[in-house]
Structures are given as structure tokens and as C-alpha cells.
Amino acid sequence: MAMRSLQPQVKAIQKQYAGDQ
């Protein structure tokens, strides 16, 4: 359940991380 809740957050972080690079 926690993983599903974190999925959108992780995706947003990955997007920000990729944009930061």
C-alpha cells in the first residue's frame, strides 16, 4: 500500500532529478 502511495511521489522526484541533471 505504501509503495502505491509513493509511486506518484517517486515519479515526480525522478522527473525533478532528471531535470536537475
Q: Which of 17, 19, 20, 21 is nearest to 9 (CA)?
A: 17
* CA pair distance 18, 3, nearest whole angstrom: 21
Over residues 1-21, the pLDDT tens digits come to: 577 888 999 899 999 988 877
Question: Which run of H or E residues covers position 11?
Answer: helix 2-20
pLDDT at 1: 58
Question: What was the pLDDT predicted at 11?
Answer: 92
- Only one residue has cell 511521489, namely 9
